[in-house]
Amino acid sequence: MLLVSTPVHRAARDWADMREEQPVPVVGIDRSTIERDLKSVAAHDFIVIDGAPQAADLAISAIKAATFILIPVQPSPYDVWATADLVELVKQRIEVTDGKLQAAFVVSRAIKGTRIGDEITGALADYGLPVLESRITQRVSYPGTAASGTTVLDAEPASDAAAEIRALAGEIRAKLS
């Protein structure tokens, strides 16, 4: 696995900087040539591009490089509205690739038992992309492990948070096969 971080969204590079030896290599690509630049990087089974959807040139380049796009959305009308431009770009690329590109939403930072947490799936369904069953709930362990440059899979492998991440990874793998 390789993690690519864009300059607009440095979170992945900041996370990698917290730990001397990272099990997942992180590289920064600061231009809108991601799809070309990735061809010069050693082969990896999975390449994750972490980027902000507001940077149009970088988003377009990342979309061109992708085979699967995961769009995390918090259960908030603001997040749902903010995804509109990105979803339009993704849908255009799906059409150009005759459906070879896949995309889906994942609800993140969900708060169990809230009405908006239940309604988000319906709001996202209006965009015409699938919404994954897996949900990433609001937990202290996510930012806590990130601050030390690790993950819940490393620090708390038996936790509910780690189970959420494994479920999400399994659901994505199933879509890719």
Instruction: Evaluate if residue 54 carries a pLDDT over 80.
Output: no
Across-strand partners of 137? 110
Q: What is the DSSP letter of 99?
A: T
State the average pLDDT over residues 31-43.
79
Residue listed under structure tokens 């879509």: 175
State the average pLDDT over residues 110-134.
90
Parent domain of 46: 2-176
Angle (nearest 5°) at CA 142 between 48 and 54: 50
The sign of the dihedral angle between the CA atoms of 52, 57, 58, 64 is positive
- Nearest to residue 67, comparing CAs of 90, 43, 33? 90
CA distance readout (Å), 74 to 108, 113, 118, 128, 151? 5, 15, 12, 18, 20
Q: What is the CATH number of the domain that holds 160?
A: 3.40.50.300
Q: What domain count does the chain have?
A: 1
Q: pLDDT grade, residue 7 (50/70/90)?
A: low
Q: Phi, psi (5° rounding) for residue 73?
A: -135, 130
Instruction: Evaluate if residue 30 carries a pLDDT over 90.
Output: no
pTM here is 0.86
From CA 147, how far away is CA 155, in angstroms rounded? Answer: 12
Instruction: Evaluate if residue 35 carries a pLDDT over 80.
Output: yes
- Nearest to residue 130, comparing CAs of 109, 161, 99, 165? 99
Decide the pairing of beta strands 26-28 and 2-5.
parallel
